[in-house]
Amino acid sequence: MNGGAREHDGVHATTEQLVALEARARDLAFIQKAKSHQQLAGRMQSALRGRGLIFEELREYLPGDDIRSIDWRVTARTSKPVVRVYGEEKERPALILVDQRINMFFGSRRSMKSVTAAEAAMLCAWRILGSGDRVGGFVIGDDGIEEVKPHRSRNAVIALADRIAGKNGKLRADYDATPAPQMLDEALRRISSTAHHDHLVIIVSDFDGHGPSTRDLLLRLASSNDVVCLLVYDPFLLELPTSGDIVVSAGGLQAELPLGRASVRTSIDAFARNRGRELRAWQKELGMSMLPISAAEETAPQLRRLLEQSAWRQRRR
Between 150 and 254, the more confident residue is 150
Between 254 and 113, the more confident residue is 113
* Bridge pairing between strands 144-151 and 289-294: unpaired
- Mean pLDDT in the chain? 79
**Whole-Å CA distances, 187 to 97, 180, 207, 251, 304:** 8, 12, 12, 21, 26
Between 208 and 6, the more confident residue is 208
Q: Give the C-alpha separation, 116 to 172, whole Å.
A: 16
Q: Give the C-alpha separation, 95 to 150, whole Å.
A: 7
Q: Give the C-alpha separation, 285 to 294, whole Å.
A: 24
3-state DSSP call for residue 286?
helix
Percent of the chain with pLDDT over 70: 72
Least confidently predicted of 26-30, 236-240, 308-312 = 236-240
Residues 46-86: tens digit of each pLDDT: 444 545 555 667 888 887 788 888 999 889 989 999 988 76
Strand partners, 82: 60
Specify whether the CB–CB gap between 242 and 265 falls below 8 A.
Answer: yes
Cβ count within 10 A of residue 107: 18
Residue 56 pLDDT: 61
Please, how many CA atoms are within 13 Å of residue 183, restricted to the half-sphere of its CB? 25
Residues 104-119: tens digit of each pLDDT: 998 888 999 999 999 9
Q: Give the C-alpha separation, 190 to 194, whole Å.
A: 7
* Bridge pairing between strands 200-205 and 44-46: unpaired
Residue 123 pLDDT: 97
Residue 286 has pLDDT above 50, yes or no: yes
Between 247 and 88, the more confident residue is 88
Per-residue pLDDT band at 253 (split at 50, 70, 90): very low
Residue 88 pLDDT: 54
Residue 243 pLDDT: 47
Between 299 and 50, the more confident residue is 299
Residue 287 pLDDT: 79
Report DSSP letters for 25-87, one per residue: GTT--SEEEPPTT-SS--SEEESSSPP-EEEEEEEE--TT--GGGB-HHHHHHHTS-EEEEEE
Residue 35 has pLDDT above 50, yes or no: no
Specify whether the CB–CB gap between 120 and 299 falls below 8 A.
Answer: yes
Residue 209 has pLDDT above 50, yes or no: yes
Measure CA 175 to chain center.
Answer: 25
3-state DSSP call for residue 259?
coil
Residue 6 has pLDDT above 70, yes or no: no
**Whole-Å CA distances, 173 to 170, 250, 296:** 10, 8, 19
- Domains in the chain (CATH in brackets) are 52-90 (no CATH), 91-316 (3.40.50.410)
Most confident of 40-49, 81-90, 152-161, 192-201: 152-161
pLDDT (mean) for 122-126: 97
Residue 313 has pLDDT above 90, yes or no: no
Residue 2 pLDDT: 47
Report DSSP letters for 87-147, one per residue: EE-----EEEEEE-SGGG---SSSS-HHHHHHHHHHHHHHHHHHTT--EEEEEEETTEEEE
Per-residue pLDDT band at 91 (split at 50, 70, 90): low
Tell which residue, 161, 209, 206, 202, has the closest CA to residue 183: 209
* Bridge pairing between strands 226-233 and 53-60: unpaired
